[in-house]
């Protein structure tokens, strides 16, 4: 039965399919200690969902197994001719380029993976027979998916706290199907980092405080996506031109030499997000922002958050051409945007930035 499920997963475009039990992850005490230390920052949903993360039958009563899936998003997928940006947007070199995390240079993966996940869940229910129930997740439910994936043998948690696959490096999404069907579990994947600490050295803000320990409050991905208020001034220079997420610790991993392109996201690439023009992004009104980013991960930080991030990236650019646009943004009705714009102007003008309001 498990081989039939794996075969169907591959047919649907998933790059790997593994199984683990529904037992609580062994890392749960460490996760609780991390929450207690406050290193999750403003991500309060992590604390709220803790009971379900600890006891999966609160998510799906009668659960017996977790099917864990991998979906590659290797960078070579970018530039699909079927996913080019609209023709009314000029194709030219950005005047001041920004940087978007590679996973976000696609249409929203939650939407793209929903249908194949549901189809695979239906296959599991059919193979399990009457009474079998399955529930699909892709980074949306209260489960410790990274830890379940390691226990299922999908990969191992690296020193940067992300999952690494020996055959795909760091560039992949994880999805799960929780099911009441009992399936034989795969063996866990042992850690294979060895003495390597490249990811720790690569972090621009020293957010990886020790091997396997991340202070999210310093992580650029957290700062540019999850944080709603002002980004701490002392961390702003290290953000560089990143406006949504950061790949530095992932890119540093030597296991990426085995990375390869997947299939499920091939038609979802957004090459217009490879090096977006910061000045153009700062000029987007609410409607244009919605039309351009509603179906991408960038929608998560909203226009206000993106404008805040763009202002900081422009302040780090060293390019005085950004000053007129920043002067307009300094009058933005959103305080977090106006403050970031003022900081950027002062930085470009070579002045010592004033403290945030």
**Catalytic residues, which ones?**
139
CB atoms within 10 A of CB 279: 20
Instruction: Give the whole-angstrom CA distance, residue 94 versus residue 252.
Output: 26
Helices and strands counted in the chain (H then E): 15, 10
Task: Give ∠ CA 221-227-229 in degrees, rounded to 5.
Answer: 140
Q: Phi, psi (5° rounding) for residue 130?
A: -55, 135
Structure-block tokens of residue 308? 């805040």
Residue 328 burial class via C-beta count within 10 angstroms: exposed 0-12, middle 13-18, buried 19 and up? exposed
Contacts of 308 (CB under 8 A, 6+ apart): 230, 231, 334, 336, 337, 340
Q: Is 175 helix (H, G, I), strand (E, B) or coil?
A: strand
Q: Phi, psi (5° rounding) for residue 62?
A: 85, 10
Contact 103, 296 (CB under 8 A): no
Structure-block tokens of residue 140? 């949306």
């Amino acid at each position: 039965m498990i081989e039939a499920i794996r075969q169907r997963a591959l047919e649907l475009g998933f790059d790997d399919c593994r199984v683990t039990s529904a037992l609580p992850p062994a890392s749960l005490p460490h996760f609780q200690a991390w929450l207690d230390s406050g290193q999750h920052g403003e991500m309060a949903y992590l604390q709220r969902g803790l009971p379900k993360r600890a006891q999966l039958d609160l998510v799906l009563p009668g659960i017996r197994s977790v099917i864990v899936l991998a979906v590659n998003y290797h960078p070579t997928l970018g530039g699909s001719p079927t996913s080019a940006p609209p023709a009314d947007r000029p194709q030219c070199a950005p005047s001041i380029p920004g940087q978007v995390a590679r996973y976000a240079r696609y249409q929203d993966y939650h939407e793209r993976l929903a249908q194949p996940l549901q189809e695979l869940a239906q296959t599991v229910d059919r193979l399990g027979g009457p009474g079998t129930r399955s529930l699909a997740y892709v980074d949306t439910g209260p489960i410790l998916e990274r830890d379940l994936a390691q226990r299922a043998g999908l990969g191992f948690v690296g020193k940067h706290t992300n999952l690494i696959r020996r055959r795909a490096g760091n560039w992949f999404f994880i999805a799960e199907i929780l099911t009441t069907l009992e399936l034989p579990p795969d063996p866990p994947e042992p850690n294979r980092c060895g003495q390597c600490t490249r990811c720790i050295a690569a972090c621009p803000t020293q957010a990886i405080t020790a091997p396997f320990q991340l202070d999210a409050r310093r992580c650029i991905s957290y700062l540019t996506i999850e944080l709603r208020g002002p980004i701490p001034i002392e961390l702003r220079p290290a953000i560089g031109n990143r406006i949504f997420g950061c790949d530095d610790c992932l890119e540093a991993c030597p296991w990426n030499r085995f990375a390869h392109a997947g299939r499920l996201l091939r038609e979802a690439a957004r090459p217009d997000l490879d090096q977006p023009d910061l000045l153009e992004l700062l000029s987007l009104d609410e409607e244009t922002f919605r039309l351009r980013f509603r179906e991408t991960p960038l929608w998560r930080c909203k226009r206000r958050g993106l404008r805040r991030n763009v202002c900081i990236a422009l302040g780090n650019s060293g390019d005085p051409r950004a000053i007129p646009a920043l002067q307009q943004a300094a009058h933005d009705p959103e305080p977090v945007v106006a403050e970031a714009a003022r900081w950027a102007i002062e930085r470009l003008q070579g002045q010592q930035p004033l403290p945030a309001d």
